[in-house]
Amino acid sequence: MLNIIPSPCFVIEENKLLDNLRLLKKVREEASVDILVALKGMAFWHYFPLMKQYLSGACASSVNEARLIFEEMGVKSHTYAPAYSEADFEQLLGLSKTISFNSLSQWKKFKSKMLQHPEIKAGLRINPGYSEIETDIYNPAVPGSRLGIPIEQMPQTLPEGISGLHFHVMCEQDSFVLERVLNVVEEKFGHLLKQAKWLNMGGGHHITRSDYDVEHLIALLKGFKLRYPNLKVILEPGEAVGWQTGFLLATVLDVVESGGVKTAILDVSFSAHMPDTLEMPYKPVIRGAGNPDEYPYTYRMGGATCLAGDFMGDYSFPKELRTDDQLIFEDMIHYTMVKTTLFNGVKHPHIGKIDSDGEFTLLRSVGYEEYKLRLS
């Protein structure tokens, strides 16, 4: 199979995506909640028609995402962004089912337009001021955060025209974290929850991870709905949809040695193609490789750009690495393609799929035209 896939290539595996979608559908049905796919984490639009069969729709944080949802999933998005420009807002009115505002000033600015569109539900993003995320770059509840309205600024009653609330303070976390977050949200914002018609609990729910306690989540959501029967509950995970659904195929272009360090230079870049590995940071899994000295041959993985820090290491292999060897970076579907850049003009990985019958199809190749079009 690998020999027919061009390198480098992001490859999604349909069976694995289906497993995730089935599980999310079960939660949706058993807990009577809506589950959306968040495009910021997972915008593999070839599979939007499939996702539509299992999920309740999608959420967008920009006009581009909302338009992609409309064009490829055929539904209007649940939209939230830190702020809307006048021009973007006009477009979002035609593309959105709900629009959540990050501040009361943004709500005031666009209120009259929203009232002319009673079919679009308006919400406010609240900031519960509580989260258990340890990496600050992913933590919307850090002191001074620009994301969401803190309780001190919220009026006692929901502003006229606002029907829902939205929060997002989780990242790769389980339902026990959600339980503690909900305790804080209810304690601080409970009176507003009683007045609202819907509550969007954001993303960061790692529902499809193998050790996630799905039954606990369902029980938690059911209990919440008993306390707030007035609320339609929405979850909008991105990562959980794309979690462990595919890989990035790479090829060794050269092996160099300096200061006692052996580096395999690859045709992929950590900076341009797997930016979370440097931002989070985390060390991605390479199929068949181990930690340094676990196997006899240890190497650093060198990225394809000229950025000195574009490397990851170290990994050990049972065999010596040679030019043209292929490597598989596991779990490279969510938060990769949506974040890639054409920095250095390095070759962007192709995008392909392995369908349920095990057949590979090349879906897209990004080339010089795309690189040139983004510059002038």
Ligand X SMILES: Cc1ncc(COP(=O)(O)O)c(C=O)c1O
In the complex with ligand X, which residue's Cβ is closer, 59 or 268? 59
Return all residues near 135 (Cβ < 8 A) that are at least 6 apart: 171, 280
Among 13, 174, 239, 267, binds ligand X (CB under 6 A): 239
203 forms part of the interface with ligand X (CB under 6 A):
yes
Token digits of residue 24: 């999310």
17 forms part of the interface with ligand X (CB under 6 A):
no
Q: In the bound complex, what is the minimum distance in angstroms from residue 335's beta carbon to ligand X?
A: 7
Q: In the bound complex, what is the minimum distance in angstroms from residue 363's beta carbon to ligand X?
A: 22
Q: What is the DSSP string of 320-355?
A: ---TT-EEEEES-STTTTTT---GGGPPPPEEEEE-
275 forms part of the interface with ligand X (CB under 6 A):
no
8 Å CB contact between 178 and 217 = yes
In the complex with ligand X, which residue's Cβ is closer, 164 or 238? 238
Q: Which residue is nearest to ligand X (CB)?
A: 203
202 forms part of the interface with ligand X (CB under 6 A):
yes
d(CA 206, CA 212): 7
- Interface stretch with ligand X, choices 104-112, 177-185, 219-227, 237-245 (CB under 6 A): 237-245
Query: Binding-site residue total for ligand X (CB under 6 A)?
Result: 14
168 forms part of the interface with ligand X (CB under 6 A):
yes
Which residue reads 């830190």 in tokens? 82
- Interface stretch with ligand X, choices 50-58, 198-206, 336-344, 348-356 (CB under 6 A): 198-206
In the complex with ligand X, which residue's Cβ is closer, 128 or 202? 202
Q: In the bound complex, what is the minimum distance in angstroms from residue 229's beta carbon to ligand X?
A: 25
Residue 374: what residue type?
Answer: R
In the complex with ligand X, which residue's Cβ is closer, 202 or 246? 202
d(CA 329, CA 237): 23
Among 24, 55, 73, 171, binds ligand X (CB under 6 A): 171
238 forms part of the interface with ligand X (CB under 6 A):
yes
Instruction: Look at residues 310, 322, 324 and name the one whose alpha carbon lies nearest to residue 250.
Output: 324
Q: Considering only residues 55-114, where is the footprint of ligand X by CB under 6 A?
A: 80
8 Å CB contact between 68 and 38 = no
Sign of CA dihedral 139, 142, 144, 147: positive
Q: Considering only residues 204-233, where is the footprint of ligand X by CB under 6 A?
A: 204
d(CA 9, CA 353): 10
Among 123, 128, 164, 237, binds ligand X (CB under 6 A): 237
In the complex with ligand X, which residue's Cβ is closer, 274 or 286? 274
Q: In the bound complex, what is the minimum distance in angstroms from residue 288's beta carbon to ligand X?
A: 28
Q: How many CB atoms lie within 10 A of CB 44?
A: 24
- Across 71-101, b (16+ Cβ under 10 Å) vs e yields ebbebbbbbbbeebeeebbebbbebbbbbbb
Among 28, 40, 121, 347, binds ligand X (CB under 6 A): 40
Query: Number of helices and strands (H, E) in the chain?
Result: 11, 17
Q: In a 3-state reduction of DSSP, which class is residue 315?
A: strand
Which residue reads 């069969």 in tokens? 53
- Interface stretch with ligand X, choices 36-44, 88-96, 188-196, 274-282 (CB under 6 A): 36-44
Among 21, 24, 33, 38, binds ligand X (CB under 6 A): 38
Peptide bond into 314 cis (omega under 30): yes
In the complex with ligand X, which residue's Cβ is closer, 169 or 286? 169
Q: In the bound complex, what is the minimum distance in angstroms from residue 345's beta carbon to ligand X?
A: 28
In the complex with ligand X, which residue's Cβ is closer, 38 or 354? 38
Instruction: Look at residues 47, 27, 58, 38 and name the one whose alpha carbon lies nearest to residue 237.
Output: 38
8 Å CB contact between 92 and 76 = no
In the complex with ligand X, which residue's Cβ is closer, 128 or 203? 203
Give me the residues that bind ligand X (CB under 6 A), please. 38, 40-41, 80, 168, 171, 202-204, 236-240
